[in-house]
A and B are shown apart, each in its own frame.
Chain A
Amino acid sequence: MAERLVPSRLSARNILRTAVVGVNTRRNRSIMSALGIAIGIAAIVGVLGLSNSSRSNLINQLNALGTNLIQVQPQTGIGVGNATLPTTAAGAISRIPNVQDVSQEIATGANVYRSSYVPSEYTAGLTVSAVDPNILTTLHGSLAQGQFLNAANIKYPVAVLGANAAQALGIISLQGDPTVSIGGRNFTVIGILNTFPLSPDLDSAALIGIPAAVSILGVANTPTTIDVRANPNDIDSVLGALAATANPENPDQVAATRPTAQLEAKAAATSTFTELLLGLGAVALLVGGVGIANIMVITVLERRSEIGLRRALGATRRHIMVQFITESLILATLGGIAGVVLGVIATVIFAEVQAWGIIIPAEAIWGGLLAALLIGGIAGLYPAMRAARLSPTEALRST
């Protein structure tokens, strides 16, 4: 007589329909409960985006500088006076184990002019540095055109211009062997450099050979800066030996610094801070999840009659459970999407202001949405189980 009774399976679309009703009916409350999740996800996405953007900026700088560059300079300050480095310092340093490259710079105090007719006060902020020919290697510089100083020409009045200096002097080409005036003497320009990523001082300088500086400009042969490239794995041992090697008589008059040390510290500090903020974001997310669970429990209490009606219309316990879990998932997903959008916007604005490259890791976005879904599911589980356990008569009794 009677065929077997099989409850219908709700299609995904119908499950969504039943769940959207609840979300839609109490819009304000839905927004408020999704907000908790949104703030948590926004915090996490924002923190990951910002820290990645800022760290990428630092790492770019570090890569440009090379972390193994050490600069040795005479110690300046109260009680030291105008200390100088001994002429022999560079040679001594080059004999320290694990030192890969050494080059000297001498600030000549002279200025460079387009010609001897230019009044001497029109320096355009350009300086003249006497350097070793290998400084290009040590400082990771490169030539835009022409050639650099070499053993054959360092005694002669030839100059290589830094990128800014060439521009300021109006020398864009080496055709016709342009000359510049340094200390009243004409120097032939033999090369023009690209920008130094790490030594902006040299961009605004004319570089000449040390022997030429000594003989032509009468500069003392005491280096003002010695650039040292050390084996990246033995930087500390090189650092320890530098002062005593450079100036054995007065090691305290030697200052050895790593230009990248500060940046490294900054990068490290940023990552510690990131972990802290991520922790805070996770707490916000947890609170958001509890908020959703809370709202769902209240919702189930308030909507007993709807549950009763649905059971009367033929909903199984499973149908009811799925409906409420789906509602919770919808709330969390809405919150998650809003959070990702907020986090991305915050990152973009902040990175723009800081002129950083914008890097928002894809894991932050997917992870954020996934976390939201997970939290929604967990938060909805208990209320949904309560809704499903409600007997139809009990549900219908309350009004």
Chain B
Amino acid sequence: MGESTAVGPVPGTEQPTQDIGDETLVADLAHVIKDYPGPPPVRALDDASLQIHKGELSAIVGPSGSGKTTLLQIMGTLDRPTSGRVEIAGYDVATLSDRELSALRAQKIGFVFQQFFLLERESALDNVANGLIYRGINTGERRELAAHALERVGLGNRLQNRASQLSGGERQRVAVARAVVGRPAIVLADEPTGNLDTRRADEIIELLEDLNHDGVTIVVITHSQEVAARLPRLIRIRDGQIVEDSGRPSPRTGQPARSS
């Protein structure tokens, strides 16, 4: 446990004090409020507090419009909160410039999107290697790491296929490989199964579980109760408020201690 003087306890936080400065804490949100200016003005997040530890596999579940995508964007430093404190991989987002946030995303955060967002004319290998382009890693090493990542997600035989030649399940695997290739502190997956049929969706969830067993910290955002129920930790959000959090499960038992 490292001591940190940069991050003090936020008044009113009910979190146990030993979590402050905890090196295993990869995402720490305290009393986050996010307002979108109108008309009509919308409060997308309303006093949301959440801690994600290293090695966790969590689901954030809620109906559409509940604020779960906003939560992911704030955790992913794609957006800043209106108020409240957000700390990702030990960095207080409020103190970082836009450039520094970009660097933080490049080094510490992996994203998986519902729409995959692959470059269609590029090969699977280059799509994954692109995940490292903004980290200043040279082309040869990028490709090498990308090949490993693709093998890890079961696409070792599809390296040179163009993204447009892959099936939906395969495309999402490429996207997952791109998210994990840089060994980020946290992977944020936004409806990763939203565009897939049930079987492919199951496979993707299994893949995420596998990666999590290898130590990757993953947060899955989904509106599917079914998907959420499979994951060790369940965080329920409604109207911008976290209404249920099963809490941090004891490692590897998979049995969360429900606390709502």
Q: Is the CB of A316 within 8 A of B78?
A: no
Q: Is the CB of A5 within 8 A of B133?
A: no
Within the complex, which residue of B2, B96, B119, B133 is in contact with A306, where a contact is CB–CB below 8 Å? B119
Which residues of B lie under 8 Å from residue A308 when comparing CB positions? 117
B103 interface residue (CB < 8 Å to A)? yes
Closest to B117 in A: A309
Q: Is the CB of B115 within 8 A of A316?
A: no
A311 interface residue (CB < 8 Å to B)? yes
Q: Is the CB of A18 within 8 A of B133?
A: yes
Q: Is the CB of B139 within 8 A of A13?
A: yes
A233 interface residue (CB < 8 Å to B)? no
Residue among A5, A25, A311, A315 with most chain B CB within 10 A: A5
Among A1-59, those with CB < 8 Å from B are: 1-2, 4-11, 13-14, 17-18, 21, 24-25
Which residues of B lie under 8 Å from residue A195 when comparing CB positions? none
**Given known A7-B106, A316-B99, A316-B102, contact A14–B117 (CB-CB < 8 A):** no
Measured CA separation A25–B131 after assembly (Å): 19
Measured CA separation A259–B5 after assembly (Å): 97
Measured CA separation A17–B106 after assembly (Å): 18
Q: Is the CB of A391 within 8 A of B117?
A: no
For B, the interface residue count at a CB cutoff of 8 angstroms equals: 41
Q: Is the CB of A393 within 8 A of B119?
A: no
A118 interface residue (CB < 8 Å to B)? no
Measured CA separation A316–B104 after assembly (Å): 11
Closest to A317 in B: B98
A313 interface residue (CB < 8 Å to B)? yes
Within the complex, which residue of B6, B121, B122, B130 is in contact with A313, where a contact is CB–CB below 8 Å? B130
Which residues of B lie under 8 Å from residue A6 when comparing CB positions? 100, 103
Measured CA separation A83–B103 after assembly (Å): 97
Measured CA separation A392–B105 after assembly (Å): 12
Which residues of A lie under 8 Å from residue B117 when comparing CB positions? 305-306, 308-309
Q: Is the CB of A316 within 8 A of B98?
A: yes
Measured CA separation A313–B106 after assembly (Å): 5
Measured CA separation A312–B133 after assembly (Å): 12
Closest to B77 in A: A392
**Given known A311-B102, A393-B79, contact A8–B136 (CB-CB < 8 A):** yes
Q: Is the CB of A2 within 8 A of B90?
A: yes
Which residues of B lie under 8 Å from residue A391 when comparing CB positions? 78-79
Q: Is the CB of A1 within 8 A of B90?
A: yes
**Given known A2-B89, A392-B78, contact A25–B105 (CB-CB < 8 A):** no
Measured CA separation A289–B122 after assembly (Å): 28
**Given known A1-B90, A7-B99, A7-B103, contact A314–B135 (CB-CB < 8 A):** yes
Which residues of B lie under 8 Å from residue A310 when comparing CB positions? 134
**Given known A7-B134, A393-B79, A399-B115, contact A1–B2 (CB-CB < 8 A):** yes
Closest to A21 in B: B119
Measured CA separation A1–B95 after assembly (Å): 15
Minimum CB–CB distance from A398 to chain B (whole Å) comes to 10
Closest to A6 in B: B103
Closest to B138 in A: A11
Minimum CB–CB distance from A223 to chain B (whole Å) comes to 82
Among A233-267, those with CB < 8 Å from B are: none
Interface of A is mostly: helix
Q: Is the CB of A393 within 8 A of B134?
A: no
Q: Is the CB of B105 within 8 A of A313?
A: yes
A155 interface residue (CB < 8 Å to B)? no
Residue among A24, A314, A319 with most chain B CB within 10 A: A314
Among A360-385, those with CB < 8 Å from B are: none
Which residues of B lie under 8 Å from residue A399 when comparing CB positions? 115
Which residues of B lie under 8 Å from residue A217 when comparing CB positions? none
Minimum CB–CB distance from B31 to chain A (whole Å) comes to 21
A396 interface residue (CB < 8 Å to B)? yes
Q: Is the CB of A5 within 8 A of B4?
A: no
Which residues of B lie under 8 Å from residue A14 when comparing CB positions? 133, 139
Measured CA separation A267–B19 after assembly (Å): 88
Minimum CB–CB distance from A68 to chain B (whole Å) comes to 68
Measured CA separation A7–B105 after assembly (Å): 10
Q: Is the CB of A17 within 8 A of B133?
A: yes
Q: Is the CB of A313 within 8 A of B79?
A: no
Closest to B90 in A: A2
Which residues of A lie under 8 Å from residue B21 when comparing CB positions? 1
Among B85-138, those with CB < 8 Å from A are: 89-91, 96, 98-107, 109, 111, 113, 115, 117, 119-122, 130-131, 133-136, 138
Among B116-165, those with CB < 8 Å from A are: 117, 119-122, 130-131, 133-136, 138-139
Can you spell out 26 A-B residue pairs with CB atoms less than 8 angstroms apart?
A1-B21, A5-B91, A5-B100, A6-B103, A7-B100, A7-B106, A8-B103, A8-B136, A24-B121, A309-B113, A309-B117, A312-B76, A312-B78, A312-B105, A313-B106, A314-B102, A314-B106, A315-B102, A316-B102, A319-B134, A391-B78, A392-B78, A392-B79, A393-B78, A396-B113, A399-B115
Residues of B within 8 A of A (CB): 2, 4, 6, 21, 23, 73, 76, 78-79, 89-91, 96, 98-107, 109, 111, 113, 115, 117, 119-122, 130-131, 133-136, 138-139, 178
Residues of A within 8 A of B (CB): 1-2, 4-11, 13-14, 17-18, 21, 24-25, 305-306, 308-319, 391-393, 396, 399
Task: A6-B103, A311-B105 are known; give 12 further A-B pairs, CB within 8 A.
Answer: A1-B6, A6-B100, A8-B103, A8-B134, A14-B133, A25-B119, A311-B78, A313-B106, A315-B102, A315-B106, A319-B102, A393-B73
User: Which 6 residue pairs of A and B lie closest in terms of their CB atoms, listed nearest first?
Assistant: A314-B106, A8-B136, A314-B134, A5-B103, A392-B78, A7-B103
